[in-house]
Every structure is written in C-alpha cells, then in structure tokens.
Amino acid sequence: MDGDFEYNEARLINHSCNPNCEVGGKGLKLWIFALKDIKIGEELSYDYGFGYDKDYKQFVCKCGSKNCAGYIVREGSRWRIKKVKSVSVSR
C-alpha cells in the first residue's frame, strides 16, 4: 500500500490497533473491507501491518484504542513490544 499516490483514497485511512477495516485484494486493486459495523461519521481505520524491526519506534501510534500497542506494528508482532515494555517496568 503506497499512500503517496493522489488517486489512492486509502491514504486517508489511519492506522488503528483496534481497526474497523482491513485491506484486501491483489496487485494495484486494493479493497477496504469493514470488519464491524461502522457508524456514520466514524473514522475508518485499519492495521497498517508494519513489521516489527529495530525502527518500530519511529511510528508512534496514537489511535487511542484500549489495546493500543503505542507503535504502528502489525497485530501478529505486537507481543514483542509488550514484552519489551513489561521488562522495562519490572526493572
């Protein structure tokens, strides 16, 4: 997903750790699917799916959801962040 293109309306959708949409499709045609009922005027969001790597702290997440990991990292990799946090708390 490249949000830099003017024609890509998906660039308007923000990341959330508790998203209401997901992205599907192949190649240049991508679809935004709703994961749950979305109220009129509610902001659309989806998991950007950034991988966990040494630079994850560059992408701070402020989605405000209850399960926010604090950084934009794909759901499957967020446990690594939580692990790092719990280690630092116990010191």
- Residues lying near Zn ion in the complex (CB under 5 A) are found at 17, 61, 63, 68
Give me the least distance between CB of 36 and Zn ion, in Å please.
16
Give me the least distance between CB of 41 and Zn ion, in Å please.
20
Side chain identity, residue 19: P
Give me the least distance between CB of 69 and Zn ion, in Å please.
6
Quick one: 25 or 38, whose CB is closer to Zn ion? 38
Q: How many residues does the chain have?
A: 91
Quick one: 10 or 68, whose CB is closer to Zn ion? 68
Quick one: 17 or 21, whose CB is closer to Zn ion? 17
CB count within 10 Å of CB 65 equals 12
